[in-house]
Amino acid sequence: MDPLRTSDPARIAGHRLLGRLGEGGMGVVYLARSAGGALIALKVVRGEYADDTGFRARFRREVAVARRVTGPWTVRLVDAAPDAEEPWLATEFVPGPSLAEAVVRHGPFPVRGLRVLGARLAEALHGLHEAGLVHRDLKPGNVLLAPDGPRLIDFGIARAPDDTSLTADGVVVGTPGYLPPEQAGGPAGVAAGPAGDVFSLGCVLVYAATGRPPFGTGPVDALLYRAVHDAPDTAGVPGELAHVLERCLEKDPARRPAARDLAHGLAGDAGRAPAGGPDADASPFGQVDESSAPWLPEPVVRLIAQRSAAALDLPDVDDTESCGTSEPAPGPERSPAGTAEGDSTGRPDRSRADLPPASGRRRFLAATGGAVLLAAGGATALWAANRDGSAPPEARPGKPRPTIALHGDLSGPDKETGRAQERGLRLAVEQFNARPGRPLTLAVRAEDDGGDPAAARRIAERLAGDPAVLAVVGPTTDATAEAALAAYDTALLPVVAVSPGANTHSLQGYRSFCHARVTDTVLAFYLNVYLRGAAASRRVGIVQDRAADHHGWEIGSTLSKLLHEDGHPQVPKVVSALRRDFRPPVDTLLAAGADSVVFAGRYERAALAAKVLHDRRFTGARAAAQAILDTRFLTAAGDAAEGWLAVAPVADPTALTAGAAFTAAYERRFGGPPPRYAAEAYDATGLVLAGIGGLKTSRPTRRGLLAAVRGTPYQGVVKKLAFKKDTGELVIGADNGVFLWRVERGDFRCRGPAPVTVPT
């Protein structure tokens, strides 16, 4: 939890604010204590959004939905003022992890835990459906875990089944990978009914049982297609539950069980809730299990206990009241000068009276129940007791210095890229530490995952658990990023990545992830411009290699779509991951008249295709994305590599006017010219360092640093880095950091920025 700022009120409608839990583009979430002493999460919408009549109407609807949700396994709305000058709502709060976090950190659930989880979530859905609503976004991140049972959260897009206001324009609402077929692939305006929630619950339970979603991961288009057409992957689901979940995942909504029937079916002896669950005696779905066996895995129980212990340090209700509360007001209480109520400086009152004896805090904790806080954007759960607010205590003797970490492949297949990024980071930090008047001195820590996703996950957990680590640059590859980002996000540890390209990293909605390069999907745009412009291609052949998974899909399918929209002739060819002989697909393209070829895949198989084209004496344009920008492509392809072009989000700083100072500093420090990705890592680190400098404190927090990094544009050596405040998405401008590289005389040479328009 971050401290309140001078601009924050001390109270809102009688609720005493204790600190900041999160901040997004649309508002702020505070941890507060109600007048009755309960801990609550209070979401306040920014004034500029409140002035939007459409947004205010949606906020009123969210409050109205929350008032109708009253079941024991859903969050309870405590208070709300949708018509206030700055609208706000308050919900119950518990310091528990989400299901997504629990599975990422501690693995799949046992059978008993799956039964309790499924039965109680089905009961929550039944209550929602009885109230005439559907949730429409049930996913692991929207399930909180508490010792007495799960809680279903986030009703921001819950609607009546016949309400199609969100889908009238054809936009898919919800989270791909957990959407039912009728929501993922139906025509615009088709209502999502209660059966869709049951399908999503089946997906959630498969995830809890196996650690992976039933329709895999990948680009959004692929996830939506699989939900509509493919059978779910339930391998690893315990046999006694597999049949139940397969019924939930039927493509036909009419064949799925109702939520009430599902709750009854799962609430056997193993599925009954633990003693003491909310309203357990009144539950129609099963009697309370008198056994003491926990329903949660032991590591998850320990995690909840740790976070509950952190809550003991919060101010007690008696001390809150002793600060002089006034009568409840309809909005924030402020001093006549407009600053927060408090001392003569205008700061909120945070006197020593806010530190009660431990016994009083424990009395309060025992009295509080409830579940959740909703993030400022309305779709993300944030937890108060994460270690993300810890300030590295640089001033204390014996404590480690605040640190910027490099997480990369320093010894595995992509060690050239990882080591280049490490050097770029070290140079930036050394220059920062040499500045007079800096707010603090930083340490550098380099962690090597060797390109192994399992090692990447362990490293992420280790870095996230070290309060001295303020930010991370990396990881190096898509696979290691996919394994690591959830752990970083759990701790709200800022992560800036410059080499992974999969669009899915951004689509997962990680709060702490800054994708400091255009995605592979965007690179297809530059390939399209190059082929139709500089290459003057009349018919483009596309080899989409399934062995490249995300990369192949995003490059190949996006390029094909762009060419189709432009009415440009193309010959697309999808190649099996098992194929090693590229002569048949290449011959198919050439026979169809392709005068240019794009390989949507990685360097090793691109080399195989390059050799076939060389043998066929093909002289047309041959292109790919950054996956072939690798010395291993040159080695594997030999003479056949000559003339190939790569569109890549990486520059040669020695060829940039803005890169002269960086190049000189790099050569002085490391004795040679900077390799690819050194400048990008230098810029990413510079972005973080600018955020630290802007905070002007020797004890910055991760949360404060993340807000600074996302909130302030930074001009780097290669490009300008700026992110959208509400989504964290990279803002793409004319200075986009995408360059053309061509193989000339056996090596890649940078040919300048990639063009963005086709000459007329």
Residue 748, H or E segment: strand 747-753
Residue 16, H or E segment: strand 15-23
Instruction: Decide the pairing of beta strands 570-575 and 403-408.
Output: unpaired
Give how far the C-alpha of residue 325 lies from the chain's centroid of Cα atoms, to the nearest Å: 39
Paired with 514 in beta bridges are 496
Contact predicate 518/527, CB 8 Å: no
Count CA atoms closer than 13 A to 672's CA, side-chain side: 5
Give how far the C-alpha of residue 333 lies from the chain's centroid of Cα atoms, to the nearest Å: 35
362: which residues sit within 8 A by CB, 6+ positions away? 312
Q: Which two tokens stand for residue 90?
A: 């308050």
Count CA atoms closer than 13 A to 346's CA, side-chain side: 10
Beta strand spans in 464-531 (E): 469-473, 495-497, 513-515
Q: Which two tokens stand for residue 582?
A: 């590229």
**Of the candidates 400, 638, 626, 657, the residue with the CA atom closest to the CA atom of residue 501:** 626
Name the region of 276 (left: φ>0; alpha: ψ -120 to 50; beta: rest).
Answer: left
What does the DSSP assignment read for 588-634?
HHHHTT-SEEEEES-HHHHHHHHHHHHHTT--SEEEEEGGG-SHHHH
Known catalytic residue: 137?
A: yes
- Please give the Cα distance from 410 to 419 (Å, whole number): 6
Helix runs in 323-477, H state only: 358-367, 415-433, 453-464
Contact predicate 476/417, CB 8 Å: yes
Residue 351, amino acid: S
Paired with 445 in beta bridges are 405
**Of the candidates 508, 453, 507, 450, the residue with the CA atom closest to the CA atom of residue 480:** 453
What does the DSSP assignment read for 390-413?
----TTSTTPPPPEEEEEE-SSST
Question: Which residue among 2, 8, 79, 137 is the active-site one?
Answer: 137
- Please give the Cα distance from 681 to 404 (Å, whole number): 12
Contact predicate 563/540, CB 8 Å: yes
What does the DSSP assignment read for 27-50?
EEEEEEE-TTS-EEEEEEE-HHHH
Count Cβ atoms within 10 A of the Cβ of residue 255 and give its class: 0-12 exposed, 13-18 middle, 19 or more buried.
exposed
462: which residues sit within 8 A by CB, 6+ positions away? 447
Q: Which two tokens stand for residue 220?
A: 């959004």
Paired with 33 in beta bridges are 16, 39
47: which residues sit within 8 A by CB, 6+ positions away? 85, 86
How many C-beta atoms surround the C-beta of residue 324 within 10 A?
A: 9
Count Cβ atoms within 10 A of the Cβ of residue 179 and give its class: 0-12 exposed, 13-18 middle, 19 or more buried.
buried
How many C-beta atoms surround the C-beta of residue 110 within 10 A?
A: 15
Q: Identify the sign of the CA torsion 691, 696, 699, 703.
A: negative
Residue that is written with structure tokens 């209550």 in the block: 127
Give how far the C-alpha of residue 638 lies from the chain's centroid of Cα atoms, to the nearest Å: 40
635: which residues sit within 8 A by CB, 6+ positions away? none
Residue 74 DSSP SS3 = strand
Instruction: Decide the pairing of beta strands 621-625 and 596-600.
Output: parallel
Please identify every residue annotated as catalytic: 137
